Amino acid sequence: MLEHEQFVANFIDFWSNPSTDRIPEILHPDVVLMQPLTAPMHGIDAAREEFRGIWRLLPDLHAQVDRWRGDSEVLFIEFRLRARVGRGLIEWPNVDRFVLRDGKAIVRTNYFDPLPVFGEVLKHPSLWWRWWGSGAARPWQTGHKIADYRSTIITTDA
């Protein structure tokens, strides 16, 4: 199995039973994570903290991979995130763009529309405190500066 194929298999396995303890299975220690509404996150500890917040908001969040394309240099995975909200299920499409190093993601750029998620949070008062506690409601407390939001270029040449 090629490196990028193994990464996709590891990604699918991770999202079948996600946890902060398992993050090093798919992310390189020096990972840079970029996604809508947050400043870039640098390193595995920042990734763990971000996912802790996400799982505080949506404890049963899982992903279903729809398709992927790429190679060992750049890899795209299209998937749907799903979580229970009240008695219903919220689902929204995502695309992750990965740059791999040593079989793990060194750069992950996530693309999704956050509006459907916000709409569901607003419709369910039971989520309001979890949203606040997740940190997503208070981006100004991250300590990020405007410079953190500038483009990040990572080369894969060692």
| Each residue's pLDDT tens digit, 3-19 | 999 999 999 999 999 99
The predicted model gives 58-74 an average pLDDT of 93
Higher pLDDT, 157 or 72: 72
- CA 149 distance to own-chain centroid: 17
Contact in structure between 85 and 95 (CB atoms under 8 Å): no
Query: What's this model's pTM, rounded to 2 decimal places?
Result: 0.79
Q: What is the pLDDT of residues 33-45, one digit of tens each?
A: 998 877 788 999 9
DSSP per residue over 83-115, as a string?
EEETTEEEEEEEEEEEEEETTEEEEEEEE---H
Q: Is the pLDDT of residue 98 over 60?
A: yes
The predicted model gives 22-34 an average pLDDT of 96
E strands, 3-70, where? 27-34, 41-42, 62-70
